[in-house]
């Protein structure tokens, strides 16, 4: 397997709460002569969310007929036990080749916060259960990443996007007083071309048919 093909990938977006940071890797281009040019195909994704709005009671709802945003969402004055709409969705670019995707998730709290690791574990356990309600997503503890089992493609209707979850419930059983505190859910979406990866995928698939890695390409998938 040509490693250039394995590494012909694009890490589309790192979304950290209300802050979006994009990064791309250059496409590989091999020019042998002036009349013999080979250009590697590209893979592109975006991580988007539906904007939200508050009603007169302060409850959050998806904004009607709104364009998805890439700069994240911010929720204020949320109470323990509240559920807010939040739908981070990986979308394949219109001109992209087919791609496998995966998403990394972590929680960030300011220094000195009263929100503890135990509190965040309660949130993570509940949110993971919500994610895994969709059997197409599964969690790989070794990589600490959520893999999507289907290939994103523009060649079939409604097959070019995948939402990781659609809402977040703030735990009502957090152990400490969290009044005035804040936290962020940091998500990193990654993609790699689906074409010509049969051997790599087969070598990194478990007995349940779940992809557990991208082989050598994983080394190039970090976003700094």
Number of Cβ within 10 Å of residue 71's Cβ equals 14
- Residue 119 tokens, joined: 């509190």
Q: Is 123 left (phi over 0), alpha (psi -120 to 50) or beta?
A: alpha
pLDDT for 61 equals 92
Residue keyed to tokens 């659609």: 166
pLDDT for 151 equals 93
Residue 202 burial (C-beta neighbours within 10 Å; 0-12, 13-18, 19+): exposed
- CA distances (Å), 96 to each of 13, 42, 158, 190, 213, in order? 15, 6, 15, 14, 21
d(CA 224, CA 217): 16
pLDDT for 11 equals 32
Consecutive 10-residue runs of the chain (224 residues): their mean pLDDT?
A: 39 30 27 44 85 89 87 84 91 90 89 87 94 94 91 94 93 74 87 83 85 63 29
pLDDT for 160 equals 96
What does pTM read for this prediction?
Answer: 0.78
Phi, psi (deg, nearest 5) at residue 99: -150, 150
pLDDT for 24 equals 30
């Amino acid at each position: 397997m040509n490693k250039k093909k394995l590494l012909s990938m694009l890490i589309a977006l790192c979304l950290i709460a209300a802050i979006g940071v994009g990064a791309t890797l250059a496409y590989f281009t091999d020019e042998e002569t002036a009349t013999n040019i080979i250009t590697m195909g590209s893979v592109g994704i975006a991580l988007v969310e539906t904007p939200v709005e508050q009603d007169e009671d302060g409850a959050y709802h998806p904004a009607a007929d709104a364009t998805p945003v890439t700069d994240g969402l911010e929720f204020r004055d949320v109470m323990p036990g509240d559920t807010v709409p939040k739908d981070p969705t990986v979308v394949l670019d219109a001109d992209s080749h087919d791609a496998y995707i995966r998403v990394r998730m972590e929680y960030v709290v300011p220094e000195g916060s009263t929100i503890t690791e135990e509190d965040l574990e309660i949130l993570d356990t509940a949110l993971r259960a919500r994610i895994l309600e969709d059997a197409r997503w599964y969690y790989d503890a070794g990589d600490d990443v959520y893999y999507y089992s289907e290939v994103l493609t523009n060649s079939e209707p409604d097959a070019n996007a995948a939402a990781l979850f659609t809402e977040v419930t703030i735990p009502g059983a957090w152990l400490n007083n969290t009044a005035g505190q804040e936290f962020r859910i940091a998500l990193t979406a990654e993609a790699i071309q689906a074409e010509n990866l049969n051997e790599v995928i087969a070598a990194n698939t478990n007995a349940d048919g779940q992809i557990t890695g991208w082989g050598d390409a994983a080394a190039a998938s970090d976003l700094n």
